[in-house]
Amino acid sequence: MVTAKAASRDSDSDSDSGSTAPPLPEWLHAVAGSPATTPMESCSDVVAVIEEMDDARYATKPSLEHAQAVGHVPEPDGGYGWVVVFASFLANIVVVGLPSSFGVFQQAYQEVPEFAGSSNLVIAFVGSLSSTGIPLFSILAGRFCDTHGPRAAMLIGALFTLIGVVSASFATSIWHLHITQGFLFSIGVSFGYIPSIGILSNWFVKYRGLATGFAVSGAGAGGLAFGPLLRYLLSNVGWRWTLRIAGIGCAVLMLVAALLIRERVKVKTSARIDLSLFKDTLFLRVYAAIVCCSFAYFVPFYFVPLFSSQHGMTKEQGALLTGLLNGASGLGRILLGLSSDFLGPINMLVLCLTTSSLLLLLMWPFSTTFAVLATFVIIYGLFVGALFSLLPTVIAQLFGARGNISTVTGMVFNGFLFGYLLGSPIAGVMADRFTTWLPDGSKYIDFLPSILFPGVCFLLGSIIFSTVRWTAARGKLLVRI
């Protein structure tokens, strides 16, 4: 039933419909781009103006599809995205390349009077701490990146890199190195690495594997350069000035990377870190595989120089082998990243982890000459680099729909914490345990247990990733996944 009052209201509305609407406020006309003296014809004009205001206000907040629809972001897979790849490349030179070259320091610190009597375990713990930064602070760095942007996160990384490495040059005891070159530098590593990797899925879709491969190949390029360069500096200016030069140079590279990097579209973030992923069985398997692989990854990087010295090779040859290992790893990241765009990132990751484990178990123990050992590090480096070039792509493929990709990447990379912290020290304990002193006063280290340990860890990781592949492919064997 319509009341008389309501009918009167309807009648008034009908009688006014033909009259001219009063002019809107000047601020609304200014936003709409129409003169304040020109009245709008209907309420639909007001709605249109408000919708345009919403588009302008939230252009950096919504989903990628909406942002592209209103024309505020560039298309993916090109343009400035390749500048972002270059920025990520520079960051990886520092945050992975320098820690991967710790084997040169491992060898040098054994001869420094201030660190006399320090075991392989104690020295290796310095390198483990610096590498542990990526998983230890990964969730914090990822969350900071999602809320404040990758540039702010990488500037923090540059600052801690400078403080950590340079302050290590003033150490007078091995525990000073644990705090500086270990812990402080590790903060810089994490805040430099997570943003540089998480941002790539923001810029690339079709060529994500190739872009990620190019970006993380900076780790190999850095390792290739750092190995011989650090050895040269250690021989000519001493370990203290070597650390100062390395710290300043790395901080400059990180600063340049931070200034170049930017987001294509700012994705809306949740109010808190979503820990429900740790209830997802698929995520837990990925996490478990990463834990296994983390115990293995850095062992060859740290112990190849010592292994080469054990078999009569020079320090310069040991540093060259470290450089070759890092360089091959960088090349492998590009080639395998490109291959993953055609064959599938999960397929390639399983293949590469399996091959890496077999090389450790079947080839490294018998690489007792420089030529054979160089062949091993090159082939091994080509395949082992896939862990870091393919993993971000796998994360984006499996969990990217959740949003907050930097936070999710940080949660996955947190799985590296256990092995980064304990993997190389465990191998060091094995080396110390199987060290014998010969009658002529020299020592002999049986490296076989330290070699079998990472080989078995990689094998376990590849088996677990195979179950992830089986689930993602829904039981199909010949499928790109």
Rg (alpha carbons) of the chain, rounded to whole number: 28
Residue with the larger pLDDT of the pair 219 and 267? 219
DSSP 3-state of 226: helix
385-417: pLDDT as tens digits = 888 788 888 888 888 766 677 778 888 888 888
> Residue 173 burial (CB < 10 Å; 0-12/13-18/19+)?
exposed
**Winning range, highest mean pLDDT, from 55-69, 318-332, 375-389:** 375-389
Instruction: Find the mean pLDDT for residues 294-319.
Output: 87
Identify the H or E element spanning 436. strand 435-437
Distance CA 425, CA 433 (A): 12
For residues 436 and 443, the answer to whether their CB atoms sit within 8 Å is: yes
Residue with the larger pLDDT of the pair 211 and 274? 211
Residue with the larger pLDDT of the pair 429 and 78? 429
85-114: pLDDT as tens digits = 999 999 999 988 888 788 788 878 888 888
pTM above 0.85, yes or no: no
The 8-class DSSP code of residue 435 comes to E
> Which residues, in sequence order, are bridge partners of residue 229?
none
> Residue 310 burial (CB < 10 Å; 0-12/13-18/19+)?
middle
CB proximity list for 352: less than 8 A, separation 6 or greater: 332, 336, 383, 384, 386, 387, 390
For residue 245, pLDDT beyond 90: yes
21-43: pLDDT as tens digits = 455 445 444 444 444 444 444 44
Torsion angle in degrees (nearest 10) through CA of 175, 179, 182, 187: 170
Closest CA relative to residue 125, chosen from 424, 450, 416, 427: 424
Closest CA relative to residue 386, chosen from 329, 424, 347: 329
CB proximity list for 81: less than 8 A, separation 6 or greater: 74, 203, 204, 211, 264
Distance CA 123, CA 40 (A): 76
What are the phi and psi torsion angles at 311 (to 5°)? -105, 30
Q: Which amino acid is at 380?
A: Y
Token pair of 470, please?
């089986």
pLDDT of residue 18: 45
Distance CA 1, CA 12 (A): 19
pLDDT of residue 57: 37
Average pLDDT, the chain: 80
Q: Helices marked H in 70-137 — which ranges?
A: 81-95, 97-100, 102-109, 120-136
pLDDT of residue 268: 57
Distance CA 216, CA 92 (A): 6
- The model's confidence at residue 376, banded by pLDDT at 50, 70 and 90, is very high
Token pair of 434, please?
């199987």
For residue 221, pLDDT beyond 60: yes
Q: Which amino acid is at 387?
A: L
For residue 1, pLDDT beyond 70: no
Closest CA relative to residue 87, chosen from 246, 209, 222, 255: 255
For residue 72, pLDDT beyond 70: no
pLDDT of residue 100: 77
Q: Which amino acid is at 170?
A: F
CB proximity list for 378: less than 8 A, separation 6 or greater: 324, 325, 328
144-172: pLDDT as tens digits = 888 888 899 999 999 999 999 999 999 98
pLDDT of residue 270: 56
pLDDT of residue 136: 83
